[in-house]
Structure 1
Amino acid sequence: MARKKALIIGINYAGTEHALNGCVNDAMNVRDFLVNDRGFPPPGEGDMTIMTDEPENEGTELYPTHDNILAAFKWLTSDNEAGDVLWLSYSGHGGQVKDLEGERASGLDDTICPIDFAENGQITSDVLHRAVVSPMHPDSRLTILFDCCHSGSACELPFVFRPDAEGNVNMLDTFKKGVGLVRAAGDLLDGGLSMDKVDDAKMLLGGATDFFHSLRYGGGADEDGLAKESFQENWESEGKDVWMFSGCRDDQTSADATIAGAATGAMSWAFMKTMRENPEQSYVNVLQNTRTALVENYSQVPQLSCGGRYDLDQTVLL
């Protein structure tokens, strides 16, 4: 029987120079949203784990240290089967470290920061992908909500979508245009070759390559939201049914805000507000409406990324 399983992480870094205010509240708000609005089993029934740096968790497996978080990722992705619906959310600091493999055009890997990151290191985007995305059953679905700075490619999902200032998301049109350029190049070469034809075909194929690259993440994002680099691995061939809503682009920060008198992450608030207003929205609608909720007061631009070239008009499955 298909089940619902959730891992929720919120870290305030209390008592440190890196202290935040709203991340533990985010974890509690996500818990209430999943249990009360989406039918997830509550904590204590075995399929929901909440990790925070509240004092009562210190010294337990629920304290969000580097090793405990990696163990929790393994718990989340273990034994998942076709039809299972999984959730992962993280609210805390996000960072960037030097890309030691030299594969990222930006020279940086995005990270999340466990409570002990100063001693035991940050968790990089490629580690996140291998720990969270790669183990997933291809016929189960994982939704990720990351409310942290530099979170755009935090899990290195290969396809990214971002609303523009008017809320338009045109990625599928972009892909179709790229396909059209490839076909035009092939048609041009039919019936014999000439140097002029070869040069024109190369120009068309070069344009198509740019379009296909724009379906990928990267440091040189343009106004349509897309990048010019690929990740270390050929992640798009995995075809994992994973969808990630992130609070900002790689080059942006996410707000630790106060809304209605309570400390909260702006992205966490906007996502849950959007979903509660209409629980049956499509992925592209949620992205657009989250952007609308943020745009008046926050400069951060939310993003949606996924593990395959999927239909964004399908209803969010939670």
Structure 2
Amino acid sequence: MMMLVNCSGCRTPLQLPPGARSIRCAVCHAVTHVADPRSMPLPPSTSFSAATPPPPSPYGAPWGPPPSPHGKKKAVICGISYRHSRHELKGCINDAKCMRYLLINRFHFPESSIIMLTEEETDPYKIPTKHNLRMALYWLVQGCQPGDSLVFHYSGHGSQQRNYNGDEVDGFDETLCPLDFETQGMIVDDEINAAIVRPLLRGVKLHAFIDACHSGTVLDLPFLCRMKRSGEYGWEDHRPRSGVWKGTNGGEAISFSGCDDDQTSADTSALSRITSTGAMTFCFIQAIERGQGATYGSILNSMRSTIRNTGDAMGGGPVTTLLTMLLTGGSAGGGLSQEPQLTACEPFDVYTKPFSL
């Protein structure tokens, strides 16, 4: 059985193989030595009833002091182009670079607090493989304290697979596709939720921006904002009937995603007119730059309006030459028909809650 140890360098939780006496961290590269692996505690259980409060987090006390105005800002940005494969995308690394620029220059994230995972990175531990992406997500939440602001941005392929444990309303798990997904497998929404949602303490906030197909509920957050074209909205309850807890440990988690669970997301040059981008990432950054980022509702409406107007202008025909290959067979006809989604750990008024990172 795998056991957890904290990295001696950055305190990232690491899975120690049975019988191993040391392990190298993929994030900081430190080697952690263990005297006797059999003495290590078992990993904490992550399944419990939503009817009762979650047990104490292994990452810290759930109800700490009020948030500090001087918390850390940390981000993981992942852009995957799947170069030289039949799944190749054109705009995902552009998305990653643009998001990094936005976080540093608009939201004042320190450059040193951003981990970039793309195929262009020279550090082998920052290539967007399944293992490296998992380690980066552990790093993102490790040691989080009240006042911290965390960001996870992903631009790449997403997919779905049949759910068998009853915790999905539609019967499917949503997934992210790391660079080596064809050999190592996809990362399922249950794992993403366990890695970066449930550890969040009171006063810690996480924003995720997922530009991928089938990404509506890929963080498995309990509530989805169902918004009409008129701007009217209501929160759908996506808490699983199985009773498995999908919320945080007192913190706040909010996700913008490129499309609904049954939709595909475009990788296209139709929006920028210059280079390929993910439609969702482009529209989010544009909303911020145009001064439409005051509230979550204004951002979501701006993103949807831009995509809808682009699709209407195309008339459904020229987009065929603009979309690159979509992993799960999304249609290239009909314009940009995707609808960005907003999910959260708790419902809130999207038109009064200020957006801030």
Which TM bucket (shorter chain)? 0.7 to 0.9
**Equivalent residues in 2 for 1:59-138 (5 A)?**
60-138=124-202
| Shift, 1:55, TM fit | 6.5
The answer to whether the aligner puts 1:315 opposite 2:354 as a matched pair is: yes
**For each residue in 1:93-140, what CA deviation from the matched residue of structure 2 results, as whole angstroms up to 9, or x when unmatched?**
000112132443433210000000011110001111001111122211
Picking from 215, 238, 249, the partner of 1:216 is 238
The answer to whether the aligner puts 1:10 opposite 2:79 as a matched pair is: yes
Picking from 44, 47, 54, the partner of 2:120 is 54
SS in 1 for 2:71: coil
1:300 counterpart residue number: 338
Letter in 2 for 1:308: E
**Equivalent residues in 2 for 1:1-318 (5 A)?**
1-42=70-111, 45=112, 47-54=113-120, 56-57=122-123, 60-171=124-235, 214-216=236-238, 230=241, 233-236=244-247, 238-258=249-269, 259-278=272-291, 281-296=294-309, 297=311, 298-312=336-350, 313-318=352-357
CA distance in 2 between counterparts of 1:232 and 1:151 reads 22
**For each residue in 1:261-297, what CA deviation from the matched residue of structure 2 results, as whole angstroms up to 9, or x when unmatched?**
1110000000000011116511111111111111122
Structure 1 segments unaligned to the other structure (5+ residues): 172-213, 218-228
Letter in 2 for 1:233: V
1:184 counterpart residue number: none
Let me know the Cα RMSD of the aligned residues: 1.8
CA distance in 1 between counterparts of 2:268 and 2:205 reads 30
1:202 counterpart residue number: none
With normalisation by structure 2, the TM-score equals 0.69
Structure 2 segments unaligned to the other structure (5+ residues): 1-69, 312-335
SS in 2 for 1:61: helix
SS in 1 for 2:233: coil
| Shift, 1:16, TM fit | 0.7
| Shift, 1:316, TM fit | 0.6
CA distance in 2 between counterparts of 1:302 and 1:8 reads 19
CA distance in 2 between counterparts of 1:5 and 1:279 reads 24
SS in 2 for 1:8: strand
CA distance in 1 between counterparts of 2:249 and 2:201 reads 10
CA contact (8 A) 1:167 1:291 kept: no
SS in 1 for 2:81: coil
| Shift, 1:236, TM fit | 4.2
Residues 134 and 111 (structure 1), Cα distance of their counterparts in 2 relative to 1, 3 Å cut: same
SS in 2 for 1:295: helix
| Shift, 1:20, TM fit | 0.5
| Shift, 1:79, TM fit | 1.0
Residues 287 and 280 (structure 1), Cα distance of their counterparts in 2 relative to 1, 3 Å cut: closer
CA contact (8 A) 1:158 1:308 kept: yes
CA contact (8 A) 2:81 2:88 kept: yes
| Shift, 1:240, TM fit | 3.1
CA distance in 2 between counterparts of 1:315 and 1:254 reads 27
CA distance in 2 between counterparts of 1:49 and 1:111 reads 21
CA contact (8 A) 2:150 2:205 kept: yes
SS in 1 for 2:126: coil
CA contact (8 A) 1:162 1:302 kept: no
CA distance in 2 between counterparts of 1:293 and 1:279 reads 12
CA contact (8 A) 2:152 2:207 kept: yes
Bigger RCO of structures 1 and 2 (CA < 8 A, at least 6 apart): 1
Residues 2 and 126 (structure 1), Cα distance of their counterparts in 2 relative to 1, 3 Å cut: same
SS in 2 for 1:82: coil
1:186 counterpart residue number: none
Letter in 2 for 1:150: H
CA contact (8 A) 1:136 1:240 kept: yes
What number of residue pairs does the alignment pair up? 260
Give the percent of matched residue pairs that are identical in Structure 1 and Structure 2.
34
With normalisation by structure 1, the TM-score equals 0.77
